Each structure stands twice: as structure tokens, then as C-alpha cells.
């Protein structure tokens, strides 16, 4: 999020000065090179799995015998989509709907995510990681629906705040859940979760993009008539498509509420879930 904030502000500044986009790319490459140097020169400790002596075979076996992992893995497709898909539309949609640069709203949400993630620990300590996912999905769904109703900058910022608070915890908390519940899964478990989030871009986001395109064609009276629309008419078409798209995507995090809700209630019924800690090789103990 911090990188998006800095990059977004730089992009707005460069666009405002009329400078070539190649300069923006060059500026964005500089912090990337610094981070690459930091990673290349750092010494990382061994993982918990390696330190505990859990073999590769045990790591694979852990995932195969724990069906709950695959439930979270499937959920990762939708949580990633709830975060990533609206971010693709914010610029073009809100620029037409409320007459402001959508990139500014995206920068604001990224800054909000950067700040809010520093407070995840106390929240998890009170309601657990799964409880946080339930609350996050609820806030994300409400925020997306309110974004579809935004007709002024003030309402857009208010809706984006609710959505941002919801999605800011999703990706890291999903990884934290896997780390807490399946520590013997090691890097394989974490990598599969990241893979699911990445594949959401490939499989889920295009379906959501199709909703936007379909709504835009419907508002124009047919896809073949889009090219001949005036600027004013195109603005109205995009406005209609934005409302339909945000409302459709709002359903995605809401679909996950029963899943996280059932797991949260089950954990609460059993005294609350405590993170698993790898003991001696081949054993798990509760923290």
C-alpha cells in the first residue's frame, strides 16, 4: 500500500505537469531496485517448519489430510477478487460518476490500508483471525454497495473508507490463518494461498470485467453503438455500468460470510482457536 500511495501521487504529479509516462516508469523503478538490493543482501532465518525438522513429505501430507485448508484456499479466490477487482475500476468509474480523479481515491484507500494494518494485532487478539475475516467481508460488501451509490466526492470517500477498512486485512489475514492453523504446511501452504490470490486475477476478475462490459453495452443499446456515442452519452453509460458492477461485486464478500461465520462460531463453541505450534518433529501442540 505504501508503494501505491507514493507511486500514485507521483503519477498524478507527472500527469499534471504533462511529463512523459516513461518518466513515471523510471521513478517507480528506483524504489524497486533499492528493495531488490535489500533482499539480495539480507540473511533470512529458516522457516518454522525447517527449524522443527518437518520434512517435505510431512509438509505435503499435512495439506492432503486437512480439508479445512482447501476451504480457506477456495475463499482466497473471492477475498482477492473483492480487493483487486474494484481497484481496477475506481479510476475510470469515479472519474465519470463524481467528477474526480479516481486515482486520488485509490491513493487514499492505499494509505488507509497502510495505517489500518498496524492495528490488526489488537483486533485479532479480541475476535480472532477468522472473526476479523468475517467483519472484513461484511465491511467490504457494504462499502462496495455504497460505492455504487456514490454521486459526490464526499460519499465516494466515505464508501471507499468502509471498503478500504474491509479489504485491507483480507490478504494478510488469510495468510495468517493458514500460518496459525497449518504450520506444518510450511512454505507450500503459504505459496498455495498466494497462488490462489494470483489466479483470482486470471479467472475471477475477467468475469467481473464482463459484467462491466455487458452493463455498458446494455446502457448504450448494443456493443456496436459504443463507438458512436458522444462524450456526454459515454459518461452516462459508464455511470450506469459502474453502478451495476460495484453492486455485482458487493455480492462476492457477502458470499463468504456463512463460511467464516460457521468457522468462527465453531471455534468460539470450543473455547476459541489457539494458533498451532510445531513441537517435536511429527507433533503439533496448542499454544
Instruction: Give mean pLDDT, residues 96-116.
Output: 74
Return d(Cα 199, Cα 215) in angstroms, integer: 25
DSSP 32-67: HHHHHHHHHT--PPPPHHHHHT--HHHHHHHHHT-H
Q: Which of 88-97, 199-208, 231-240, 263-272 has the lowest mean pLDDT?
A: 88-97
pLDDT surpasses 50 at 287: no
Spatial CB neighbours of 199, under 8 Å, sequence gap ≥ 6: 77
pLDDT surpasses 70 at 99: no
Return d(Cα 153, Cα 99) in angstroms, integer: 8
* Cβ-based neighbour number of residue 221 at 10 Å: 11
Q: Which of 82-86, 139-143, 254-258 has the lowest mean pLDDT?
A: 82-86
Q: Tell which wins on pLDDT, 180 or 24.
A: 180
pLDDT surpasses 90 at 147: no
Instruction: Give mean pLDDT, residues 132-141.
Output: 94
Nearest CA-CA partner of 62 in 181, 207, 218, 210: 181
Q: What is the mean pLDDT of the chain?
A: 81
The residue assigned the cell 461484511 is: 138
Q: Tell which wins on pLDDT, 203 or 13.
A: 203
Return d(Cα 41, Cα 249) in angstroms, integer: 42
Spatial CB neighbours of 188, under 8 Å, sequence gap ≥ 6: 59, 60, 63
45 phi and psi angles, rounded to 5 deg: -70, 160
Q: Which of 92-106, 131-145, 212-226 has the lowest mean pLDDT?
A: 92-106
pLDDT at 200: 86
Q: Do residues 134 and 260 touch, judged by C-beta distance below 8 A?
A: yes
pLDDT at 18: 66
Instruction: Look at the pTM and tell me if it is higher than 0.95.
Output: no
The strand ranges marked E within the chain are 276-278, 284-286
In the chain, pLDDT over 90 holds for what percent of residues?
24
Q: What pLDDT, in 10s, does the model give residues 30-45?
A: 888 988 999 899 988 8
CA 101 remoteness from chain centre: 21
Q: What pLDDT, in 10s, does the model give residues 166-221?
A: 988 999 999 999 999 998 988 899 999 999 998 888 887 788 778 888 888 888 88
Instruction: Give mean pLDDT, residues 130-135.
Output: 95
Amino acid at each position: 500500500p505504501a508503494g501505491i500511495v507514493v507511486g500514485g501521487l507521483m503519477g498524478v504529479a507527472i500527469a499534471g505537469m504533462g511529463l512523459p509516462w516513461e518518466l513515471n516508469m523510471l521513478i517507480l523503478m528506483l524504489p524497486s531496485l533499492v528493495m531488490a538490493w535489500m533482499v539480495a543482501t539480507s540473511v533470512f532465518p529458516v522457516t518454522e517448519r525447517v527449524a522443527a525438522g518437518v520434512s517435505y513429505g510431512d509438509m505435503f501430507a499435512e495439506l492432503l489430510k486437512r480439508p479445512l485448508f482447501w476451504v480457506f484456499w477456495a475463499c482466497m479466490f473471492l477475498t482477492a477478487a473483492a480487493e483487486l477487482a474494484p481497484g481496477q475500476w475506481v479510476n475510470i468509474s469515479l472519474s465519470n460518476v463524481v467528477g474526480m480523479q479516481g486515482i486520488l481515491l485509490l491513493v487514499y484507500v492505499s494509505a488507509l490500508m497502510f495505517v489500518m494494518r498496524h492495528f490488526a494485532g489488537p483486533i485479532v487478539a479480541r475476535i480472532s483471525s477468522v472473526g476479523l475475516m468475517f467483519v472484513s467481508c461484511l465491511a467490504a460488501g457494504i462499502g462496495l454497495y455504497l460505492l455504487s451509490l456514490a454521486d459526490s466526492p464526499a460519499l465516494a470517500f466515505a464508501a471507499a473508507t468502509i471498503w478500504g477498512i474491509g479489504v485491507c486485512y483480507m490478504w494478510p489475514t488469510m495468510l495468517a490463518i493458514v500460518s496459525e492453523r497449518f504450520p506444518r504446511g510450511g512454505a507450500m501452504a503459504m505459496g498455495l494461498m498466494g497462488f490462489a490470490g494470483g489466479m483470482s486475477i486470471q479467472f475471477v476478475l475477467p468475469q467481473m470485467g464482463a459484467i462491466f462490459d455487458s452493463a455498458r453495452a446494455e446502457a448504450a443499446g448494443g456493443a456496436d453503438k459504443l463507438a458512436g456515442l458522444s462524450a456526454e452519452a459515454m459518461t452516462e453509460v459508464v455511470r450506469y455500468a459502474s453502478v451495476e458492477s460495484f453492486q455485482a461485486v458487493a455480492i462476492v464478500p457477502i458470499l463468504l460470510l456463512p463460511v467464516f461465520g460457521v468457522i468462527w462460531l465453531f471455534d468460539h463453541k470450543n473455547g476459541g482457536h489457539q494458533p498451532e505450534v510445531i513441537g517435536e518433529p511429527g507433533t503439533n501442540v496448542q499454544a
